[in-house]
Amino acid sequence: MRRVIPVLDVQQGRLVKGMQFGDLQDAGDPVAAGCLYGEMGADALIVLNIGSDPAYHDQFLDQVSRLAACCQVPVIAGGGVKDETSFGDLLEAGATAVSVASAAIRDPGFVERLAKEFGSDQVLASVDARWAGTGWRVHTDGGRRSTELYAIEWCQRLQSLGAGQLMLVSMDRDGTGAGFDTDLVRYVVEKVEVPVIVAGGAGRLEDFVDACKAGASAVTAASLFHFRSLTIHEVKDALCQEGFGVVEQDLLS
């Protein structure tokens, strides 16, 4: 089964969307959007506190709690998760899994500890990658800092440390509508066994199909759904027409 997952980037309590990790635009209320996506057939939601502003920490936890209560699909939450306490806070708020990114790079043992304490199924490791001429380099801190890590090897390491699923984000494609980086997806999927969620670049129905053909377990979109360029139903229908199984739900157009 292939999953279709809207991504909700939250900054200072508001739903935002930009291009290549910048030029953010307000896209409304994240809770209202997430609840609507649940009604429209989303298989899960990914909600990320991209600002990680401590002043909005409690508000974000409340938003995760309200989303978990209203949308009746799994909620994966993240953003600024730096320790076991912040990880556990999101689970307590209602998240079914929590995304970790920069903290895992600074301390790879963090992923291992989380997997042992909470279970691998609740650990989603997110990898922000950008092409660097000889491979895809991993970035931290919302894409602001490049590392010496290469995405394919880092994904393998994250799996070995206990991450139960991966989210692969193409920084080059983010918000461009140019399509997912299927080369990156294919290379990673060939090297890992855990589910791979892909993000960054969806612009047409064919892009979702191409990502699944490359091996993605789940496909995501943000602005396409936020601004009603495509619906979840249309994406699922396109995948079904290409022979990919999807979760059948009563979908609103």
CA distance linking residue 188 with residue 155, whole number of Å: 7
Highest mean pLDDT among 6-15, 42-51, 206-215: 206-215
Superfamily of 3-241 according to CATH: Aldolase class I (3.20.20.70)
Q: Please state the domain extents for the chain.
A: 3-241
Catalytic residue among 43, 89, 128, 207: 128
For residues 127-159, one letter each, b for 16 or more C-beta atoms within 10 angstroms of the residue's C-beta and e for the rest, the string is bbbbbeeeebbbbbebbeeeeebbbbebbbbbb
Range with the lowest mean pLDDT among 7-21, 32-46, 175-189?
7-21
| pLDDT at residue 208 is higher than 80 | yes
pLDDT of residue 253: 39
Q: Is residue 23 annotated as part of the catalytic site, yes or no? A: no
How many other CB atoms are found less than 10 A from the CB of residue 22?
Answer: 11
pLDDT of residue 251: 46
pLDDT of residue 119: 98
The one-character DSSP state at 2 is B
The amino acid at residue 186 is R
The amino acid at residue 194 is V
pTM: 0.94
Q: Is residue 128 annotated as part of the catalytic site, yes or no? A: yes
Catalytic residue among 9, 174, 207, 210: 9
142: three-class secondary structure by DSSP: coil
Section 64-81 average pLDDT: 94
- Identify the band that residue 50 occupies on the pLDDT scale cut at 50, 70 and 90: confident
Q: What is the DSSP secondary-structure string of 162-226? A: T-SEEEEEETTTTTT-S---HHHHHHHHHH--S-EEEES---SHHHHHHHHHTT-SEEEESHHHH
